C-alpha cells in the first residue's frame, strides 16, 4: 500500500482571503497580494481562489469583515529585487 500525503502537507500553499467589500462585491485576495479579483458572487470568488491556489480549499479563509481589493501591494521578493 502506497501512502500519499494530503496536498496541504506536500506543497506549501498560500492563504487566500475572500469576503465582501463595502459595495457588496465579493473579493478574493492572496495574503501577500500576488493575485486577486472582484466577483459578483461568493461561488465565483471561491472558484477563482481554488484555481489560483492549486485547489487547496483548506487555505481559503472567508472573512466576516469588509475586505477591499488592494492591488497596490507588491510581493516581498519583487520589492527586494527592485531595492537592490
Q: What is the pLDDT of residue 71?
A: 84
Q: What is the mean pLDDT of the chain?
A: 82
Is 3 inside any structural domain? no
Q: Which domain holds residue 72?
A: 13-83
Is 1 inside any structural domain? no
Q: Which of 50, 44, 13, 46 is nearest to 31 (CA)?
A: 13
Q: What is the pLDDT of residues 2-57, one digit of tens each?
A: 554 444 444 456 899 999 999 999 999 999 888 999 999 999 999 999 999 999 99
Is 6 inside any structural domain? no
Domain count, the chain: 1
Is 77 inside any structural domain? yes
Is 37 inside any structural domain? yes
CATH number of the domain enclosing 20:
3.30.160
Q: What is the pTM of this model?
A: 0.71
Q: Which helix (DSSP H) or strand (DSSP E) does residue 20 occupy?
A: strand 16-20
Amino acid at each position: 500500500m502506497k501512502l500519499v500525503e494530503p496536498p496541504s502537507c506536500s506543497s506549501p500553499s498560500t492563504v487566500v482571503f475572500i469576503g465582501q467589500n463595502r459595495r457588496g462585491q465579493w473579493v478574493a485576495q492572496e495574503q501577500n497580494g500576488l493575485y486577486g479579483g472582484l466577483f459578483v458572487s461568493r461561488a465565483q470568488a471561491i472558484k477563482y481562489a481554488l484555481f489560483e491556489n492549486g485547489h487547496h480549499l483548506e487555505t481559503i479563509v472567508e472573512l466576516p469583515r469588509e475586505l477591499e481589493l488592494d492591488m497596490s501591494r507588491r510581493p516581498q521578493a519583487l520589492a527586494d529585487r527592485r531595492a537592490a
